[in-house]
Amino acid sequence: MRWRGLTGVLSSQACTLSANRLLTVAVPWLVLDRTGSAAQTGLVVACQVLPYAFTQWLAGPLLDRIGPRRISMAGDVTSAAVLIIPAIFGTPPLWLLTAMLIAVGCADGPASAAKRLLVPFMAADAGQSTARGVGLATAVERTATAAGTALAGWLVATLGGDRALWAAAAMLGVATLIVTLTVTDPVRDHGRDDETYLDRLRTGTAFLRGNPQLRALTAMFVVTNLLDQALMAVLLPVWARAGGHDATVVGLALSAVGVASIASALVSAGYGGRLPRRATYLIGVLSSGPTRIVVLALGLPPEAVIAVYALAGIGSGLFNPLLETLQVELIPAALRGRVQTLITAWAWAGIPVGGLFGAVLLNAGGLHVALWVCGVAYLAAVLRPAWRVDWSPPDPPQNPAEPRENPAGSPQKRVAPRPPEPRTPPLRLSVTSKDVAAAIPARDHIRRR
């Protein structure tokens, strides 16, 4: 029963993430098959992606006030109800499909943020550390990304885009049922009676602005997400075409990242709490970030590129749970919904302009220059938090009745508490009038300073 809540959150995450990956494949295929226009396809997909992070930020105060469990259930059931429309009314026209995806994006953002907030609470209820819970959640995310995309391709090919939407709705319905039956809400911050929604929103913003460690992490998220989007949307496909490679090389490289990140995330869940944090961060970000860009700039053969991308997946699965754990430790539980959703909104801010940034660099200096500029910028972005963030773990609460582990990992001996020393009974003095009248020599005076 202790693992019930954590298992429920992870299972619901697997369902919703798989549904999202299914939509990522099914919706573009459905629009392109109906219109034949790549521009309209991109516009419809953007209508789902753009509200995602923005509504997360707006839902931050509600997550802290109402509770993440209710937000998760409401978001998933809303998305499922919207996606059932094709099953009831038939194939929707393009304008209705666009409206449906806007509604799904608005509902899915808060629901995803709610499940993210539930992970550390449910891990604590299961008697597990935050690092273990976050590591398991990262492994679930990477697995759903790999398996969900493959499942989406099979469903679209066999059943068609319309029925793939039904499958996504069913997954979201299952996620709602799992959260309803297995998860309980953590203690909520009801705040002051006179505190408005905007006051709570400003409180989260002020906390992020006043914490230099979180600011350093947020700036790194913005820059690296922008550069990752530039690499994935523009530079990597152009590199493959310029070198005479087909899409198979790109697919193998990305698959290597996914599979390796699943394995390393599981390792992080098991042993991440014992690893030195700063060294783990540096090894993880340096192996998973700039190396993916530099290997392309060096003109190495495809086999070397795939190997480097597999190494990048290992690093990614190590440092991403560490960064999530660090945010949980730096943000008070009462503010976690507002602050983490604000960080996510900032992190997503660079994604829409990443492809444009990569195209500008490509046109200005060519592929070689664009890759080196992005690689150096990535290196600078990930090195800054290494010295701006306190990577030391928080001090655990000390309980003399429980055995602790020393740095070597062996439990220390239980030490009995020291018995209290016997108290000396107070000295009672009785002074009579005869004593006061007696003369006291000067040498008997005791002066205390």
Rounded Cα gap, residues 84 and 324, in angstroms: 34
Tokens read off for 339: 């602050």
Shared fold status for 1-184 and 207-392: yes
Amino acid sitting at position 339: V
Number of H helices, E strands in the chain: 17, 0
Please give the CATH architecture assigned to the domain spanning 1-184: Up-down Bundle (1.20)
All structural domains of the chain with their residue ranges: 1-184, 207-392
The Cα-based distances of 97 to 91, 93, 114, 161, 322 in angstroms read: 9, 6, 26, 12, 38
pLDDT tens digits, 356-415: 888 889 888 889 999 999 999 999 999 999 888 988 877 665 443 343 333 333 344 434
pLDDT tens digits, 106-152: 999 999 999 999 999 999 888 888 888 999 999 998 888 878 777 77
pLDDT tens digits, 233-259: 888 888 988 888 877 788 888 888 888
Please give the CATH architecture assigned to the domain spanning 207-392: Up-down Bundle (1.20)
Rounded Cα gap, residues 250 and 248, in angstroms: 5
pLDDT at 438 over 80: no
Helix, strand, coil proportions of the chain in percent (round to 5)?
A: 80, 0, 20
Q: For residue 176, how many C-alpha atoms fall within 13 Å in the half-sphere facing its CB? A: 19
- Average pLDDT of the chain to the nearest whole number: 81
Rounded mean pLDDT of 409-425? 44
Closest CA to 14 of 150, 115, 131: 115
